[in-house]
Structure 1
């Protein structure tokens, strides 16, 4: 459970900003590689540095980048081929730009960005993803209240209370404010769903357990869709 952007979401945002001339190279590299991990690109003929990935994206003619957050049964943000889908599903994320994608695999203290061909994909519309997330959050909150979340183990209840505070995201220049806000709410909803789905807590019966899961699975899906839309430049609203 985290309120931080996934590695691929961060790269999708900043790569788009760089391709569109909104951010300079050094600023992009600092933002993408911020943290304790080293970053290596695998599969490029020209080199293994993140700079080489940026240059390859520009040479490919990509106008921006986008996020994929697939889970079993829902290849969200992917259009194939199967090799890409399988690799992205194994780690739960990928970045797609034009006819290419990169999938981050963290090995020890290094994120290996593995380059793979990508087919055209379909991505949720920002407006639709936004409306769905808002409606799903309301429905999940009402049902969880009826199921008496207060009976969860105390530490889980405390964590849930902390998640009420929406994360503040540092988006690159050129990112629509609506998408920055949607990404923050998507992370918030996803974290709540992961926390709640990971513990059946004070549920007293199999019926209550299944009701709680039924309330939270749509929230998890709506939150992922919101984050994919917010971090995929091809569906951003016009400036």
Structure 2
């Protein structure tokens, strides 16, 4: 799976809302399965697996949106990092005495069944040196300015420009601050633009210019999404 499918972000947002007492487990799982289809962990349903993790001391879910050369949200070991980078997304389940890494893959059965199968890996403690919302907002604003200038200079298609975006989801769950909702929605809209950006009709120089700007924007978008999805815990850490 890739970040185009918002399965891990949705699972993290609604899973944390459940852990914080804002929604029930059924509602959290229903939202995750709405975007990914029925989800299983081995032979266990996602609902049953999360309930078991809660009994084992699950306290929070952390989002990882890594890319080659940028293991955002990952802390190892290498086997988990490699699988998460290949998938483009992962969830780190933080328990009282250990962490587990969940990596999604398409679960295809027969001609019509489409779901998600989560592989479980041992994970090192979740990273807490990730950007805060304030830092992510600043980085995203700077990347938007740079990308807008680059795309304007090369006269790329209008739909590729960050100042001409449509809606593309990015909704968080109850319990998240309004600032996090706004940051996540903006980052998701930008992610949609990055997915459809192409290089048709550009010279090699224009492609290089736009490519650098879009890579910078992609990094800022992923960092913003991670920061927004972890914002439900920021007040606790700042007390």
TM range (shorter): 0.7 to 0.9
- Residues 126 and 235 from structure 1, CA distance in 2 versus in 1: closer, same or farther, beyond 3 angstroms? farther
Query: What residue is the counterpart of 1:232 in the other structure?
Result: 230
Give the distance between the partners of 1:3 and 1:83, measured in 2 at CA: 20
What is aligned with 1:211? 209
Instruction: Quote how far apart the aligned CAs of 1:33 are.
Output: 1.1
**Secondary structure of 2:34 counterpart:** coil
- Secondary structure at 1:85 match in 2: helix
Q: Aligned residue for 1:147?
A: 154
TM-score with structure 1 length normalisation?
A: 0.84
Contact 1:65-1:95 at 8 Å conserved across structures: yes
The aligned residue for residue 137 of structure 1 is 144
User: Which structure 1 segments of 5+ residues have no match?
Assistant: none
Pairwise CA distance, 1:235: 5.6
Confirm whether residue 193 of structure 1 aligns to residue 189 of structure 2.
no
Q: Which segments of 5 or more consecutive residues in structure 2 lack a partner in the other structure?
A: 109-113
Residues 131 and 210 of structure 1: is their aligned pair in 2 closer, same or farther, counting only changes over 3 Å?
Answer: same
Residues in 1 aligned to 2:3 and 2:167: alpha-carbon distance in whole angstroms: 8
CA displacement 1:184-236 (0-9 Å, x = unmatched): 1111222222322xx222223x2222111111110011001111111125763
Please, what is the CA RMSD of the aligned residues?
A: 2.6
Deviation at 1:124, TM superposition (A): 2.0
Identify which of structures 1 and 2 has the higher relative contact order when contacts are C-alpha pairs closer than 8 Å and 6+ apart. 1
The match for 1:102 is: 102
Compared with structure 1, are the counterparts of its residues 110 and 62 closer, same or farther at alpha carbon in structure 2 (3 Å cutoff)? same
- More displaced, 108-117 or 161-170? 161-170
Q: Which residue of 2 aligns with 1:23?
A: 23
Equivalent residue in structure 1 for 2:60, among 64, 72, 81: 64
Cα distance between partner residues in 1 of 2:85 and 2:35: 24
Q: Are 1:64 and 1:234, in contact at CA under 8 Å, matched by a contact in 2?
A: no
Structure-1 separation of matches of 2:153 and 2:87: 35
Q: Does 1:86 align with 2:104?
A: no
SS of the residue corresponding to residue 231 of structure 1 reads helix
TM-score by length of 2: 0.84
Distance 1:161 1:183, change over 3 A: closer
- The total of aligned residue pairs comes to 225
CA distance in 2, matches of 1:230, 1:131: 13
